[in-house]
């Protein structure tokens, strides 16, 4: 590719101008101890860092920022580190989803308002990947995503333990009386063995793998464990490559297209990835001006079976996946579904990047002829519509008990999690394995932020009977590390008048996954009567980010982005003054 002249770089508007402003920019940079020749005439690379002391998955990103800087200096650039909102999943209440768009706005504004020519984005925990990339796609300057990497494999008493997946599993065993309080405390220190994101195919690895296949990371970067020495080497390479990308003006609008998203979808389905990705991918596609709908995802889910044998759909961990050949080996096995011409940050096509990929363990990385879950038994993403979800609801049918995929049962409806938690373990609760548990007002506006409440608890009295799965319905989301017959993202949500708000305890609910249906067996006249009586109950925020969020967020099937940000448009460059 041809190299742009230095005068075309946006940073030169700050540093090269021969006026008082230019003087101040040069003067103030030298105030920080840099020599003129260390930054003048060089591409300026932002390292957007989501490190925080309250974000365990990102605890190593300060070190990785140093590795990126090393690569940038080596390649003749000038690295500058800019902190951004961390959105660490485990500590943020009610949910980091409330702040995904906030992070996207922050990234866009950081890049827009500063003398930045290109960026390396450091993130990994769930919402950080879409948040960082949504902002960067809107800003449209050269960017590379540097994923934090999954943590090392955990074990407890000889059994593999995966972050999230086994927390939920052992929590149910504790409530059922099958493990002791001492066991539970012992587990605390054993599951999460190292730095890095969850070691299961949760939302973090789903999203980092998808954007890897879309060409937004260095090839295969998403599979490198955080604690592996290859990880800082990958970070350094990101720094080196971003400088070349700046000279080439290799920005998202030049390669991120429908082909990229198609490759992302193939990856999503083959991984048995998190339902959360459905929301994030639509939001990212809209920023990139690519048409993508839940129907496109459902269509791909019907073609590509789950081939990665990883928790929660399978039985291995991310470190096993890496040693088996990682994402590139998986993509090589699924080559016929991919658009091999999709271009990537290294300037090569996906087809070129996977050409030499090899699989070292066919049990961990399966082919279509030997999937973890055959398509006839379940899919990564099943799309449901009906009078309970006119605009769609999703479920991971590959992680559900097959006997529930066609089911009719009476609803047990909760209006909020506090009510549910007060009641669910009552020994006198009128509930059987056939009951359909419902939690509403957990959507984008209602909660707000659509928290991961959707893996609704199994009542204790049923746990004691050995029940481990039931049909559950929620207008919120579910952790990608979880499993079960959980119907999620019901749209429109109850809080904005969606029909989930009309359902009552005792109404029959019918689920037919093969037919793609989710209905309440209530006649239309009765529904009309209930609709006339319905009143919004969600708390309306008058201040804080939640107020902005409630006013502008779209529904789950539209990606939950803000109405004023989702449409692509020209970035308004700051005035020179």
Which spans of this chain sit near ligand FES (rule: CB under 6 A)?
57, 89-90, 125-126, 163-164, 197-198, 202, 204
Q: Where are the alpha helices (DSSP H) in 435-516?
A: 460-463
Nearer to ligand FES, 308 or 471 (CB): 308
Output the smallest distance, CB 322 to ligand FES, in A: 16
With respect to ligand FES, which residue has the nearer C-beta, 90 or 527? 90
Which CB, 203 or 401, lies closer to ligand FES? 203
Least separation in angstroms between CB 153 and ligand FES = 15
Residue 90 or 496 with smaller CB distance to ligand FES = 90
How would you list the strands of the sheet with 78-83, edge to edge?
78-83, 44-49, 118-123, 143-147
Q: What is the DSSP letter of 122?
A: E
Distances (CA, A) of 347 to 230, 329, 343, 555: 21, 20, 7, 35
Decide whether 114 or 168 has the Cβ nearer to ligand FES. Answer: 168
The distance of closest approach from Cβ of residue 172 to ligand FES in the complex, given in angstroms and rounded to an integer, is 19
Residues 237 and 71 sit within 8 Å (Cβ to Cβ): yes
Shortest distance in whole angstroms from residue 204 CB to ligand FES:
3
Which CB, 9 or 204, lies closer to ligand FES?
Answer: 204
Q: Which residues contact 398 (CB under 8 A, 6 or more apart)?
A: 272, 306, 313, 372, 373, 377, 378, 379, 380
> What distance in Å separates the CA atoms of residue 321 and residue 318, rounded to the nearest whole number?
5
Phi, psi (degrees; rounded to nearest 5) at 156: -140, 115
Query: Least distance (Å) from ligand FES to the CB of residue 413?
Result: 29
Give whichever of 45 and 204 is closer to ligand FES, judged by the CB atom.
Answer: 204
How far apart CA 575 and CA 577 sit, in angstroms, is 5
Q: How far is the CB of 119 from ligand FES (least distance, A)?
A: 22
- Whether the CB-CB separation of 67 and 236 falls below 8 Å is answered with yes
Which lies closer to ligand FES via its Cβ, residue 85 or residue 411?
85
Per-residue tokens: 64: 């990785």
Buried b (16+ CB within 10 A) or exposed e, 431-460: bebebbbbbbbbbbbbbbbbbbbbbbbbbb
- Write down the least CB distance from residue 371 to ligand FES, Å: 25
Contact yes or no for 318/211 (Cβ under 8 A): no
Give the C-alpha separation, 351 to 159, whole Å: 37
Please say whether the beta carbons of 497 and 491 come within 8 A: no
The residue to which tokens 């519509």 are assigned: 385
Q: What is the 3-state secondary structure (H, E, C) of 504-522?
A: CCCCEEEEECCCCEEEECC
Q: How far is the CB of 164 from ligand FES (least distance, A)?
A: 6
Could you tell me the smallest distance in angstroms from the CB atom of residue 480 to ligand FES?
A: 8
- Decide whether 43 or 88 has the Cβ nearer to ligand FES: 88
């Amino acid at each position: 590719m041809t190299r742009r002249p230095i005068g075309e770089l946006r940073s030169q508007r700050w540093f090269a101008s021969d006026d008082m402003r230019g003087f101040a920019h040069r003067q103030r940079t030298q105030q920080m101890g840099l020599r003129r020749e260390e930054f003048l005439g060089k591409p300026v690379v932002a390292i957007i860092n989501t490190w925080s002391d309250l974000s365990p998955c990102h605890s190593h990103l300060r070190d990785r920022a140093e590795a990126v800087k090393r690569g940038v200096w080596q390649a003749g650039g000038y690295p500058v580190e800019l902190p951004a909102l961390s959105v660490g999943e485990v500590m943020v209440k009610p949910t980091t989803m409330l702040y995904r768009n906030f992070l996207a706005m922050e990234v866009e504004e950081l890049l827009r308002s500063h003398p930045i020519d290109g960026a390396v984005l450091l993130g990994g925990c769930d919402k950080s990947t879409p948040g960082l990339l949504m902002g960067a796609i809107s800003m449209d300057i050269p960017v590379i995503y540097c994923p934090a990497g999954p943590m090392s494999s955990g074990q407890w008493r000889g059994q593999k333990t995966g972050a999230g997946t086994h927390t939920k599993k052992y929590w149910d065993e504790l409530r059922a009386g099958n493990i002791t309080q001492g066991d539970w405390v012992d587990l605390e220190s054993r599951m999460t063995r190292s730095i890095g994101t969850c070691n299961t195919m949760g939302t973090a690895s789903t999203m980092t793998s998808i954007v890897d296949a879309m060409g937004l990371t260095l090839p295969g970067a998403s599979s490198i464990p955080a604690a592996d020495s290859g990880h800082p080497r990958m970070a350094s390479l990101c720094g080196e490559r971003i400088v070349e990308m700046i000279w080439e003006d290799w920005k998202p609008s030049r390669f991120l297209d429908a082909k990229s998203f198609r490759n992302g979808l193939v990856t999503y389905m083959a991984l048995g990835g998190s339902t959360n990705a459905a929301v994030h991918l639509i939001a990212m596609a809209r920023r990139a001006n690519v048409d993508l709908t839940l129907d496109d995802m459902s269509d791909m889910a019907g073609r590509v079976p789950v081939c990665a044998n990883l928790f929660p759909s399978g039985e291995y961990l991310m470190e096993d996946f890496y040693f088996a050949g990682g994402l590139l080996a998986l993509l090589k096995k699924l080559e016929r579904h991919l658009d091999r011409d999709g271009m990537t940050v290294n300037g090569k096509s996906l087809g070129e990047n996977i050409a030499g990929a090899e699989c070292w363990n066919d049990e961990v990385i399966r082919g279509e002829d030997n999937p973890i879950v055959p398509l006839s038994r379940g899919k990564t993403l099943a799309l449901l519509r009906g009078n309970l979800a006119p605009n769609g609801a999703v479920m991971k049918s590959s992680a559900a008990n097959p006997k529930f995929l066609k089911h009719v049962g009476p609803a047990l409806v909760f209006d909020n999690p506090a009510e549910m938690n007060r009641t669910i373990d009552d020994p006198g609760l009128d509930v059987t394995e056939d009951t359909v548990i419902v939690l509403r007002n957990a959507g984008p506006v209602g909660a707000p932020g659509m928290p991961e409440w959707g893996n609704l608890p199994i009542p204790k009295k049923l746990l004691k009977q050995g029940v481990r799965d039931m049909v559950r319905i929620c207008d919120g989301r579910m952790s990608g590390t979880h499993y079960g017959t959980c119907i999620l993202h019901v749209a429109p949500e109850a809080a904005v008048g969606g029909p989930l708000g009309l359902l009552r305890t005792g109404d029959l609910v019918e689920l037919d996954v093969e037919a793609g249906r989710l209905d309440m067996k209530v006649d239309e006249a009765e529904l009309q009567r209930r609709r006339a009586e319905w009143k919004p109950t969600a708390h309306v925020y008058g201040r804080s980010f939640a107020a902005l969020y409630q006013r502008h967020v779209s529904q789950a099937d539209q990606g939950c982005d803000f109405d004023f940000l989702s449409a692509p448009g020209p970035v308004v460059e700051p005035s020179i003054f």
